[in-house]
Structure 1
């Protein structure tokens, strides 16, 4: 049984490799969207709509970064803004039809990539990885 320090070193290295690979893969699977823009569009889709401040809080980004991404998404016709009926100083952001179509295609390609990657894994191993990732990410929420 490896010691905890050695295991933590491996985890750190492997997560770093994972992050680099994820950015590279994202650029291949949906070159029309940056990883950040894709993530924001996906968040809007999953939640139906949101405010810019919601994106900043969810992704731990500063408002200027979010503003630039929103401007890019809007310029590309991937999102629409609507006045917030509860606070007219704010705007509600939603994925446009074009944005949803782009996101659907990107997600289909990403899912196919995962399917290929896990071809030789058993169902129990895939389920265990899913459980570990859920647990890992939930710890960050605490």
Structure 2
């Protein structure tokens, strides 16, 4: 069966439009769940917690962000008392970011609210639909790992 180039372009347009709407909705939701915690900061805090601590350079590399962007976001997390720096036991020159107790609590609360929102929004989807959607998101995000930092 021949591929329809026009259909492919239409699909790409729909994907672009819907991912933009998704990103806007995600930022809006993040702002409602914790007004002082922007989406980027929330994402970095979640990564720090999931990694059981990491360096700012690890965050920049993982999310393909400029180091100055990560530095500003980490400063917000520190100012809010959600993250603190610790010297790496193997190399005292290296600073490892770790969530504070308040950071872990804020993250757990926010994640619970986000999960509830996803459950509601995706409540009518079958388990197979969710599994396929998750696979597509993983595939999409892993394909972007070669892009330069923003």
Question: Structure 2-normalised TM-score?
Answer: 0.87
Q: Residue 86 in 1 paired to residue 77 in 2?
A: no
- 1:113 is matched with which residue: 117, 129, 134? 117
Q: Could you list the structure 1 runs, at least 4 aligned residues long, displaced by more than 4 angstroms after superposition.
A: none
Aligned-residue Cα RMSD (Å) equals: 1.6
Separation in 2, partners of 1:29, 1:70: 19
Larger RCO (CA under 8 A, 6+ residues apart): 2
Q: Residue 46 in 1 paired to residue 47 in 2?
A: no
Separation in 1, partners of 2:138, 2:69: 27
Aligned position for 2:140: 136
Aligned position for 1:61: 65
Separation in 1, partners of 2:45, 2:134: 23
Separation in 1, partners of 2:76, 2:32: 19
Separation in 2, partners of 1:58, 1:24: 23
Cα drift, residue 32 of structure 1? 3.0
Separation in 2, partners of 1:58, 1:85: 23
Separation in 1, partners of 2:70, 2:122: 34
Unaligned residue ranges in structure 1 (runs of 5+): none
When the two structures are aligned, how many residues end up with a matched partner?
142
Q: Residue 9 in 1 paired to residue 13 in 2?
A: yes
Residues 99-110 of structure 1: pairs in structure 2 closer than 5 A: 99-110=103-114
Please state whether the residue corresponding to 1:33 is helix, strand or coil: coil
Q: Residue 95 in 1 paired to residue 99 in 2?
A: yes
Question: Structure 1-normalised TM-score?
Answer: 0.92
